Amino acid sequence: MIAVTILGNNSAIPAHDRHPTSQIVQTTEHTFLVDCGEGTQMQMNCYKIRRKNLNHIFISHLHGDHYFGLIGLITSLALNNRLQDLHVYSPEGLSEIIDIQLAVSASKLPYRLIFHIIQNEEILWEDAHFSVRSFMVSHRIPCWGFYFQEKKFPRKLNMDALKKYNVPKAFFENLKNGEDFISEKKVIKNKQLTFASSPAKSYAYCADTVYDESICSKIKEVDMVYHEATYLDDQVLKATARYHSTSKQAAAIAHKAGAKRLLLGHFSSMYDVLDNFREEACEIFKNTEVALEGVSYLV
């Protein structure tokens, strides 16, 4: 299960009651925060996001609308007596910004704050069930996308069939991993003894980026892609000049990547109403939604 909850869907200048970029990626076990614009901690309050399982924060790049809320969140967690480690992944420069602000108020955190500098396209974090990988996108300053991937689930045992063929328990783990049952007397195909597991889901967050087709191969056939659409398509020149994308460019990336679903965000404050973003993108990629604050999108 991957669920994406939008905390902020606006670009740099907060407007129309929309907030700078931030979203929560939740799995059954983990809560990840992706970008942390000003007001993120208030948005987490507003939408009742529990912080207990939040141990990893991914910051795509160091434009303020993607990290100005981090220092407030860090200090509030401290005031709430958090004790468990907190990991922050970002381009170089963020730890200095946080440290200088903690120093000036003579604050000492009651938990360990661990910074990881993203320098390559690599696995940033993983456990037995899930991984988070960085991939480069194209913005005015170094900027990273994040690929969230469930690991393949084990096949489910068909207990009736197992009884029928008298398969000993010792073989169950191998069966879950897709192996056939082989004994001295017989070979039984895995499919006769197990059911298919739920498909492993994937979600790609493309951060801030100009239209860049090299992204497509990095997010190939992803279940859901978030791609910025700062502008509608009549502003394509402005978008390109500012290293941003339009609705149709986002749709083209989703289409060329063979993604199953597209979520648009990072809307310019010049737009009060957002309907047109979906309409324009749908001309190229039908399964498009506009990222709305407070809404959880189940991948």
Q: Which residues contribute to the site for its own copies (CB under 8 A)?
A: 12-15, 17, 19-20, 38-39, 41-42, 45-46, 62-64, 68-69, 71-72, 75-76, 79-80, 93-94, 96-97, 100-101, 104-106, 140-141
**Pairing label, strands 194-195, 123-126:** unpaired
CB of 20 or CB of 145, closer to its own copies: 20
Alpha carbon distances (Å) from 123 to 116, 120, 132, 185, 243: 12, 9, 6, 44, 26
CB of 66 or CB of 133, closer to its own copies: 66
CB of 104 or CB of 159, closer to its own copies: 104
CB of 13 or CB of 298, closer to its own copies: 13
Return d(Cα 57, Cα 49) in angstroms, integer.
Answer: 14
Residue from 65, 208, 223, 233 carrying the catalytic annotation: 65
Residue at 273: amino acid letter: V
Return d(Cα 250, Cα 183) in angstroms, integer.
Answer: 53
CB of 95 to its own copies, least distance (A): 11
DSSP states of 238-292 as a string? Answer: HHHHTT--BHHHHHHHHHHHT-S-EEEE-B-TT-S--HHHHHHHHTT-SSEEE--
Q: Which helix (H) or strand (E) holds 135?
A: strand 130-136
CB of 77 or CB of 299, closer to its own copies: 77
Return d(Cα 93, Cα 80) in angstroms, integer.
Answer: 26
Return d(Cα 157, Cα 161) in angstroms, integer.
Answer: 9
What's phi and psi for 100, nearest 5 deg?
Answer: -65, -30
Active site residue 208: no
Q: Which residues are catalytic?
A: 65
